[in-house]
Structure 1
Amino acid sequence: MNTGNSPLAAGRARLGALSLAITGVLFLLYPLVRPYADEKSMQGAEAMASPAWVAAHLFGAVGFIFLALGLLGLRIALRETAAEPLASRAVVVTWIGAGLTLLYFGAEDFSLNAIGQRAVNEQNLKLLVELTEAVRYNPAAITVFGAGLVLLAVGVILAAVAVWRSGLLPRWSGVPLALGFALFIPQFFGTPAMRIAHGLLITAGSLWLASSLWRAQRR
């Protein structure tokens, strides 16, 4: 199959592959660096108040950005295949999902960090619990967050289907990443070990798709 890739397009697709690889690293750092504790205790307040809390959520937030860039590179690589329209839809849906998700991630990162610091300084657990629940479970906020994560899952699944149909990349190379984002909401209810395992799944999926995309451009 003639993919019609110019050197410029191939270079952009390789940047997409690099973005996917970075995505994988960031989504592994997110659960590894994040401190875990009972969030209705002073240990939980100290966890939220820590620099590790801010760093971990920044890793996750930037991971969503690089995911969107990576799928743009995938769409460029597939532009002369029958899967290009589906890859384009995947990019649009993923970008919208990432934008909605980042609104909530910012609050989770910086607002809860400030609440944790104040709770620690005042040794006030009631303040911690009340304000944390107000930030996390605000109806508008949780709706936007849920919608963003669902759209991210749909976007990455569409990308996996585009990979499967493209004839350019290994059929299964998009499936683990799609599975990782399909499980993004359930993993929030898992143990720390399960959340780290989920990060490993996204990392493996990102690196497989990245390496497949890179090799395809070299061919």
Structure 2
Amino acid sequence: MNPQDTGRWIRAGLWALPASWLLTAWSSLEPQPDQEIDPGAWARFVSSYSYQASHLVGSTGGTILAVFGLFALGCFLAGGRSGRLALAAMVIAAAGTALLLVPAVISTFVTPAVGRAYLAGNQDVMQLEFPGSMSAAFMAGLVLAFVRTVLLGVAVWRSRVLPRWAGALWVTGAVVFYALGVVLGQATTGSSLPTQSAGAALLAVAAGGTAWRGSARQGRELSPAG
């Protein structure tokens, strides 16, 4: 593959990052009802077509775009002064994504089946318990995803070729999305909080600034005049 083709793939990947965070923000806009307080409302929510669509298009689609974008950003930064941080973030991203796929499959395909079974009169299905290893995989994946996002923010900040404000926003968005959104939501309501969508929106802005500057620089380096 010639450098121009490689550059096009990297630019496409950089723009996949803001798209992935926008999809994530959309998929977390509507929190699901509390399963213990109102199991009927919860069952109707998780068995709806909108729930399935938000998980398949928003969560799964967002993950696919994020993996593409993270590797593109890592490749873009690999030869610069923050290359080591970016490459470390790529490795951590692969591990974190693999761990988070475990609960994601349960949430996307098993949870709707549980909801439909409850609505059909099988109330004992709400007593279904998953092994603790699933919760451990979920928490480990969250920690790695948080570390990955922070490392990318620092790498963008130190790169000198990407906007420093974007690097700061990467770190801020990571705290809002993961700590104040996902973790706090699971610990309190058991669902997503508005901070999760807000954090994803911040990360979309940070990724957009990164993609705008990065793709422009990539285009100049590969142009015949460059």
TM tier, shorter chain? 0.7 to 0.9
- In the alignment, structure 1 residue 184 sits paired with structure 2 residue 178: yes
Q: How does 1:35-184 map to 2 (within 5 A)?
A: 36-40=32-36, 41=38, 42-58=40-56, 59-122=58-121, 124=123, 126-128=124-126, 130-131=127-128, 134-135=129-130, 138-182=131-175, 183-184=177-178
SS at match of 1:82: coil
Query: Which among 12, 18, 24 is matched to residue 15 of structure 2?
Result: 18
Asked whether the equivalents of residues 173 and 212 of structure 1 are also in contact (C-alpha less than 8 Å), the reply is no
Q: Alpha-carbon deviation of 1:198?
A: 3.0
Question: 1:186 and 1:142 mapped to 2: Cα distance?
Answer: 18
- The corresponding residue for 1:197 is 198
Structure 2, unaligned runs of 5 or more? 186-191, 221-226
Q: TM-score under structure 2 normalisation?
A: 0.82
Asked whether the equivalents of residues 149 and 185 of structure 1 are also in contact (C-alpha less than 8 Å), the reply is no
Could you tell which deviates more after superposition, 112-121 or 9-18?
9-18
RMSD (Å) for aligned C-alpha atoms: 2.2
Q: Alpha-carbon deviation of 1:156?
A: 1.6
Identity value in percent = 27
Structure 1, unaligned runs of 5 or more? none
Query: Which among 4, 11, 28 is matched to residue 25 of structure 2?
Result: 28
Asked whether the equivalents of residues 27 and 203 of structure 1 are also in contact (C-alpha less than 8 Å), the reply is no
SS at match of 2:12: helix
Q: Alpha-carbon deviation of 1:30?
A: 0.9
Q: TM-score under structure 1 normalisation?
A: 0.84
